[in-house]
A and B are shown apart, each in its own frame.
Chain A
Amino acid sequence: KAGVTQTPRYLIKTRGQQVTLSCSPISGHRSVSWYQQTPGQGLQFLFEYFSETQRNKGNFPGRFSGRQFSNSRSEMNVSTLELGDSALYLCASSLEGQGSEQYFGPGTRLTVT
């Protein structure tokens, strides 16, 4: 079966701009979680959506937001970009959520200059 896809794979933005990242989960998976990965902080949980509802949220500022559509595809948005937002953003889909086997996409590499 097709895996998790994320678009775009690479992105370069300027401070102050906003960005939208997209994630298409595995067919049949209703849970989509977003993570930020940096060399210094490792994997950090952003939020999880399940059947179009945000079920859990990590400790990130309100500039980070997301949504999930009826077909389970998800988007995350970062407004007013800061240099520290440069990271690999990973999306993971699963049947039941973080407590079950998660399938990760390849990630979107965001660079903020």
Chain B
Amino acid sequence: EDQVTQSPEALRLQEGESSSLNCSYTVSGLRGLFWYRQDPGKGPEFLFTLYSAGEEKEKERLKATLTKKESFLHITAPKPEDSATYLCAVQAESNYQLIWGAGTKLIIKP
């Protein structure tokens, strides 16, 4: 069964303290892996798409990487405005619809 697991469920960091969020997936052939950010009371906002192992993408303080079993979202020197829930979703080759992880709630304290 296709599955996506995100860890940790919640992460509290001090401003400037770098860390990583994990998205593990089990699918029969990966078509694409997506990262979204969701702020309270809002819909998710697209961050990255990764398609193949070894691929990396960056945006400001965020960097997403992909292996054959998992993806990491690295946050470098985070600021309080990076606080949000980060969602990972996977699209399998055999199934068009996205499978979403439960998300990681990130809190950055000033």
A residues adjacent to B (C-beta < 8 A): 4, 42-45, 48, 55-56, 58, 90, 92, 97-107
Contacts and interface: CB of A to CB of B under 8 A. Distances in A.
B97 A98 contact: yes
Given A42-B103, A104-B42, 12 more contacts: A42-B101, A43-B100, A58-B97, A90-B44, A92-B43, A92-B44, A99-B32, A102-B44, A104-B43, A104-B45, A106-B42, A106-B43
Contact of A101 (B42, B46, B100, B101): B46
Interface residues of B, number: 20
B47 to A, nearest CB: 10
Contact of A103 (B46, B89, B98): B46
Interface of B: 31-32, 36, 41-46, 49, 87, 89, 91, 96-98, 100-103
A105 B45 CA distance: 9
Contacts of A102: 44, 46
A104 B98 contact: no
Contacts of B101: 42
23 contacts: A42-B103, A43-B44, A45-B97, A45-B98, A48-B97, A56-B96, A56-B97, A58-B97, A90-B43, A90-B44, A97-B96, A98-B91, A98-B96, A99-B32, A101-B49, A104-B36, A104-B42, A104-B43, A104-B44, A104-B45, A105-B43, A106-B42, A107-B42
B64 to A, nearest CB: 14
A106 B32 CA distance: 24
Contacts of A107: 42-43
B52 to A, nearest CB: 14
A33 to B, nearest CB: 9
B45 to A, nearest CB: 7
A19 B96 CA distance: 28
Contacts of B103: 42
A48 B32 CA distance: 18
B43 A4 contact: yes
